[in-house]
């Protein structure tokens, strides 16, 4: 029986509750597909600060490197907000991404027909949207040096090398080859030198993918077009900070941030996490929506090449939503029954 | 009779057509209010490159400095896209902003009840939205040094000084004092040093405005909240690049980019321009929507303290829209009659 070692990083806030449901679902599909998971927990974020005074302990990185994949919950909360920067949960997440070489973040915006009314956008605008954001995750202004702050001035550096741009561009074009064969590369080349290089290199990489169409779009226009007509997009390729902004914006097309998964890949081990944060205000109440995390687990199975197991999860989620089960965040959208975090996890596990 | 000297910078693409309509309307209200305008034209953008080989000639800057206000159309087009950076129309606009000290860009997102269906957002989400973006315009990553590019690497610097942040924060708080008394300051303080300073300084400035509420929001979350619930905002205060992205996004709430004006202030002379670009694809066809430019002229009158004249314009636009006149871009939204750019200008002039 095939066994996968999964590093489990539950994190803070609602992290533990939602990851537990993903594990429940993974165990259910494992049984049906005759595979096996070995789950090993490691601390990250605020909960790691509490124990090790370090938001990303070496032990966590070692554990991740020693696994086949990483399942991640969420990090952060008011308890740790006033700590010095290097101790804040966010720094732990950034260090983890960098240490593991997770340079490519992939965030599909998947519309569930059952929830087409959950968006603030009109149904005719979003029905049929099928786009994915490919965001560079270990470069750009997040990690650029020099960075500095005193009482009178502060700065950061947005920097990209040719090599970094090539790597992420290949990920986007490969993704588009498997999808609708269009890449929209987003930059601010009318103002930024770093975007000029971005555009040049993306055009060169494009030559290797003659069947994929490439278009360039300025980031301000992209922020607009995502609302005006999201159906025009297939793969959106962009840098770290623009990707941070645009992928969160794109998630709202779907209506609930509680539904969207992400994959961070490129290093030895892939990391899978919901795109939402740790929602400290609702932690521990059993009302968080576990679907984004369960879908992240499904992306993890795809990554492990367990396509059948991955599909089981996706189909089960669709069925449970079609049957009218909703967590509280989605209660106003054609709900037949409002269920808890754990009930939602059990329903998806049973139907998988 | 009071005379105002207006520098007119029509620019490229649809710029000349739409500015001509704004002038038509300004002349109409001038007559009714017993004031007078002296319009002096200067070249900017691609049209300045064609004549002076310079997208922002000294003569244009001098002319602007020698005026009471600047009415601006739009710049750019494929003809000038391949020129070296310093000759591109965009560089001309940036140089103009910097030379005139226009550090504050104000972009109200005004919803016309008559056009509530023009948005891709649901009417109940946008009805009653009344927000304005205050964007820092002459600092940040747009102008930060060092900036560099070779074939293998490129970088830009995002930098703010205490003084720059103080100045723009005061503009936002003053704006909020006159409005709904809430400032949402947008940054990425969980990652960027420059945002940490931004947050600190904004909190200090806030102490001078005890009746204005201040909240902080990360830029990724702001991109989401603008779609999820735009009514929560009053004044959004942010830096140059985040403001570029968020104000374009906010404009889509309204439905048409052809409707929104902006003011750039802070120096000796204010500049007023539509937020849209030069739309080279429709230039010269007489179908561009002049309303954003005419509303910019109305903001200019407010700035010149000609409130009654400014209100005449706003009321007239409302009436003309209520009467069912639409330019082509708005033809599907309760149109009774489709009119040209020039007819729309004449209708607004007549009713002003
Ligand atoms: C928590 C924060 C540092 C992080 C980011 O900005 O990358 C988050 O917003 C994300 O998108 O995963
Ligand atoms: C044309 C471009 C340089 C400009 C900017 O980015 O500031 C435009 O997008 C704007 O917002 O006025």
Give tens-digit pLDDT for B37-96. Answer: 999 999 999 999 999 999 999 999 999 999 999 999 999 999 998 899 999 999 999 999
Domain residue ranges of chain A, discontinuous segments joined by +: 1-105+256-352, 120-254
Bridge partners (DSSP) of residue A245 are: none
CB within 8 Å: B188 and A244: yes
Q: A27 in ligand 1 pocket by Cβ < 6 Å?
A: no
Q: A220 in ligand 2 pocket by Cβ < 6 Å?
A: yes
Burial class (CB in 10 A: 0-12, 13-18, 19+), A42: buried
Burial letters B210-230, b for 16+ CB under 10 A, else e: eebebebbbbbbbbbbbbbeb
Fold of domain B1-108+256-352 = Isopropylmalate Dehydrogenase (3.40.718)
Pairing verdict, β B35-41 and B2-11: parallel
Same topology, domains A1-105+256-352 and A120-254? Answer is yes
Burial class (CB in 10 A: 0-12, 13-18, 19+), A130: middle
Query: DSSP letters along A180-238, please?
Result: TSEEEEEE-TTT-HHHHHHHHHHHHHHTT-TTSEEEEEEHHHHHHHHHH-GGG-SEEEE
Distance, first Cα to last Cα, chain B:
20
* Maximum alpha-carbon separation in chain B: 61
CB within 8 Å: A122 and B125: no
All residue ranges of chain A with pLDDT < 70 are none
Distance, first Cα to last Cα, chain A:
20
Number of neighbouring beta carbons within 10 Å of residue B293: 33
Cα-based distances in Å from A350 to A27, A32, A327, B86: 11, 11, 17, 63
A120-254 to CATH, choices 3.30.70.100, 3.30.479.30, 3.40.718.10, 3.40.50.150: 3.40.718.10
- Closest approach of B155 to chain A, Cα-based (Å): 4
Number of neighbouring beta carbons within 10 Å of residue A98: 17
- Closest approach of B36 to chain A, Cα-based (Å): 37
Residues on chain B touching A241 (C-beta within 8 angstroms): 188
Vertex B24 angle, CA B21 and B30, to 5°: 140
Minimum CA distance residue for ligand 1 atom 8: A244
CB within 8 Å: B162 and A151: yes
Best of B94, B262, B277, B293 to mutate for ligand 2, by most ligand atoms within 8 A of CB? Answer: B94
User: Is B198 in contact with B185 (CB distance < 8 Å)?
Assistant: yes
CB within 8 Å: A227 and B249: yes
Question: What pLDDT was estimated at residue A333?
Answer: 86
> CA–CA separation, A1 vs B128, rounded Å?
60
Question: What pLDDT was estimated at residue A254?
Answer: 85
Pairing verdict, β B104-110 and B130-136: antiparallel
Dihedral, CA of residue B277, residue B282, residue B287 and residue B292, to nearest 10: 0
Task: Please give the CATH number for the structural domain made up of A1-105+256-352.
Answer: 3.40.718.10
Minimum CA distance residue for ligand 2 atom 6: B244
- Closest approach of B108 to chain A, Cα-based (Å): 16
CB within 8 Å: A154 and B249: no
Q: Is A27 a catalytic residue?
A: no
Minimum CA distance residue for ligand 1 atom 9: A244
Q: Is B220 a catalytic residue?
A: yes
Q: Give the residue ranges of DSSP H helices in chain B.
A: 15-33, 46-52, 58-65, 89-99, 123-126, 162-178, 193-206, 219-228, 240-254, 291-303, 307-322, 341-351
> CA–CA separation, B162 vs B200, rounded Å?
9
Q: B220 in ligand 1 pocket by Cβ < 6 Å?
A: yes
> CA–CA separation, B138 vs B135, rounded Å?
9
User: Is A64 in contact with A96 (CB distance < 8 Å)?
Assistant: yes
- Closest approach of B183 to chain A, Cα-based (Å): 20
Q: A224 in ligand 2 pocket by Cβ < 6 Å?
A: no
Bridge partners (DSSP) of residue B157 are: A157
Residue B58: partners with Cβ closer than 8 Å, 6 or more residues away: none
Looking at the CA of B245, which ligand is closest? 2
Distance A325 CA to ligand 1 centre (A): 30
Catalytic residue among A113, A220, A229, A323: A220
Is B35 known as a binding-site position?
A: no
Report the half-sphere exposure of A207 (CA within 13 A, side-chain side): 6
Q: What are phi and psi for residue A7, nearest 5 degrees?
A: -80, 125
Indicate which atom in ligand 1 lies nearest the CA of residue A262: 12
Residue of chain A minimizing CA distance to B221: A248
Residue A29 C-alpha from the chain's centroid: 22
Question: What pLDDT was estimated at residue A19?
Answer: 98
Average pLDDT of chain B is 96
Per-residue pLDDT of chain B (352 residues; tens, 9 = 90+): 899 999 999 999 999 999 999 999 999 999 999 999 999 999 999 999 999 999 999 999 999 999 999 999 999 999 998 899 999 999 999 999 999 999 999 999 988 888 888 899 999 999 999 999 999 999 999 999 999 999 999 999 999 999 999 999 999 999 999 999 999 999 999 999 999 999 999 999 999 999 999 999 999 999 999 999 999 999 999 999 999 999 999 999 888 889 999 999 999 999 999 999 999 999 999 999 999 999 999 999 999 999 999 999 999 999 999 999 999 999 888 899 999 999 999 999 999 9
Question: What pLDDT was estimated at residue B255?
Answer: 81
Q: What are phi and psi for residue B3, nearest 5 degrees?
A: -115, 130
* pLDDT tens per residue across span A82-112: 899 999 999 999 999 999 999 999 999 988 8
Q: Is A148 a catalytic residue?
A: no
Indicate which atom in ligand 2 lies nearest the CA of residue B94: 3
Q: Residue B185, SS3?
A: strand
CB within 8 Å: B224 and A122: no
Q: Is B244 a catalytic residue?
A: yes
Is B232 known as a binding-site position?
A: no
Residue of chain A minimizing CA distance to B255: A228
> CA–CA separation, B272 vs B289, rounded Å?
16
Cα-based distances in Å from A48 to A23, A83, A275, B294: 21, 13, 20, 57
Number of neighbouring beta carbons within 10 Å of residue B338: 15
Q: Which of A309, A306, A271 is nearest to A73 (CA)?
A: A271
User: Is A238 in contact with A134 (CB distance < 8 Å)?
Assistant: yes
Number of neighbouring beta carbons within 10 Å of residue B82: 8
Query: DSSP letters along B206-230, please?
Result: HTT-TTSEEEEEEHHHHHHHHHH-G
A324 sits in which H/E element: none
Query: DSSP letters along A98-167, please?
Result: HHHT--EEEEEEEPPGGGGGGSSB-HHHHTT-EEEEEEE-SSGGGT-S--EE-SSEEEEEEEEEHHHHHH
> CA–CA separation, B64 vs B9, rounded Å?
9
Looking at the CA of B75, which ligand is closest? 2
Catalytic residue among A188, A234, A325, A329: A188
Choose from B94, B124, B244, B245 for mutation: most chain A CBs within 10 A. Answer: B245
Residue of chain A minimizing CA distance to B256: A228
Residues on chain A touching B148 (C-beta within 8 angstroms): 193
């Amino acid at each position: 029986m095939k066994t996968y070692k999964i590093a489990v990083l539950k994190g803070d806030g609602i992290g533990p509750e939602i990851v537990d449901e993903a594990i429940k679902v993974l165990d259910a599909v494992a049984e049906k597909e005759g595979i096996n998971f070995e789950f090993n927990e490691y601390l990250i974020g605020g909960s790691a600060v509490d124990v090790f005074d370090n938001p990303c302990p070496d032990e966590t990185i070692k554990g991740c490197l020693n696994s086949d994949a990483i399942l991640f919950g969420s990090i952060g909360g008011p308890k740790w907000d006033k700590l010095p920067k290097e101790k804040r949960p966010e720094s732990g997440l950034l260090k983890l991404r960098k240490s593991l070489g997770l340079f490519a973040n992939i965030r599909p915006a998947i519309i569930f027909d059952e929830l087409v009314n959950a968006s603030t956008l009109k149904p005719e605008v979003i029905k049929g949207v099928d786009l994915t954001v490919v965001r560079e995750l270990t470069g750009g202004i997040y990690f650029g040096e020099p960075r500095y702050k005193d009482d009178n001035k502060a700065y950061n550096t947005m920097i990209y090398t040719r090599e970094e741009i090539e790597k992420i561009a290949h990920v986007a074009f490969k993704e588009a080859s498997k999808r609708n064969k269009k890449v929209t590369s987003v930059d601010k080349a009318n103002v930024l030198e770093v975007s000029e290089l971005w555009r040049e290199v993306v055009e060169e990489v494009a030559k290797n993918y003659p069947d994929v169409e490439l278009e360039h779009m300025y980031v301000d226009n992209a922020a607009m077009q995502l609302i005006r007509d999201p159906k025009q997009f297939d793969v959106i390729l962009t840098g770290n900070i623009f990707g941070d902004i645009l992928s969160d914006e794109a998630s709202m097309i779907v209506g609930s941030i509680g539904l969207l998964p992400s994959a961070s890949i490129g290093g030895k081990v892939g990391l899978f996490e919901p795109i939402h944060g740790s929602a400290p205000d609702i932690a521990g109440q059993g009302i968080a929506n576990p679907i984004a995390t369960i879908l992240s687990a499904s992306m993890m199975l795809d990554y492990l090449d367990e396509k059948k197991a991955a599909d089981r999860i996706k189909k089960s989620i669709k069925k449970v939503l079609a049957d009218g089960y909703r967590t509280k965040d989605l209660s106003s959208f054609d709900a037949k029954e409002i269920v808890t975090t754990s009930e939602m996890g059990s329903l998806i596990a049973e139907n998988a």
